[in-house]
Every structure is written in structure tokens, then in C-alpha cells.
Amino acid sequence: MDKETKHRDIDVLIIDDEPAVRTALSRLLRLEGYRVETAESGIKGLQLLRDKDYSVLICDYDMPEMNGGEVFAEAEKMGFHGQQLLLTASEEFETAGTGDVTVVHKPWEQEELVRLMKGRSERN
């Protein structure tokens, strides 16, 4: 089974205010066979989340308007129960949600991120 076939039913939403991060992550995950959409803010990401059922939500912590922890909390209020990966360059952060949040420190190791995604895909 090739990568595209293995993960073709897994929709991933990446929320990050940095275009380079969105591009790098989406490229990496698409190469692994995931279906990926991106948003440049928590507000826009939550709008996308209202319209589609994503399996994985990857969100930057430090963003204008609302941080990643706030995005996760709002996503849970909307009924999101998928996997949550929080991107951060900081050691100090809070997640307001109650879901299963995995912290990924920037800069991330590509192999580690792929391993985390595969591990989460296999649990779903």
C-alpha cells in the first residue's frame, strides 16, 4: 500500500500565521499521503472546522488574535474530537482544551513529525 492510499482518508487542518510553516508542513504531509488544508489564523481555521470533519488539527501556539490553546478549546466546544498537535517555539504555553494534545517544538524534525502522524493514524 503506497503512502497516498494509506492516509487518503485522513484530513488534516494546519493553522499557523507563518506562510513558510504552512507550506512546509502541508508539503511534508501531502507527500506522506494526507489530505491537507491550511488557515492563516485561528479564526479562519475554526471557520474551516465548522464546515468539515478533520481527523487531525495542527496549530501554532503563538498567533495574533487567539493562541493555539484557545483554538483547541473552541474546536472542542464545536465538537472536534480528533488528534491535536500544538506547534510552539516556546517552553511556556497553556492549552485550555481537555483533548489529547501533543506538543511539537519548532523547529520540528521531519521524521519525528511523520512518526507522530503515523502513530496517531494507526490509533484512529
> Where do the domains of the chain lie?
3-118
Residue 24 has pLDDT above 50, yes or no: yes
* Bond prior to 64 in cis (omega within 30° of 0): no
CATH of domain 3-118: 3.40.50.2300
49-79: pLDDT as tens digits: 999 999 999 999 999 999 998 999 999 999 9
Between helix 110-123 and helix 19-31 the angle, nearest 10°, is 60
How many angstroms separate the Cα of 106 from the Cα of each of 3, 44, 103? 25, 22, 10
Band of pLDDT at residue 97, cut at 50, 70 and 90: low
Assess contact for 55 and 61: CB atoms under 8 A.
no
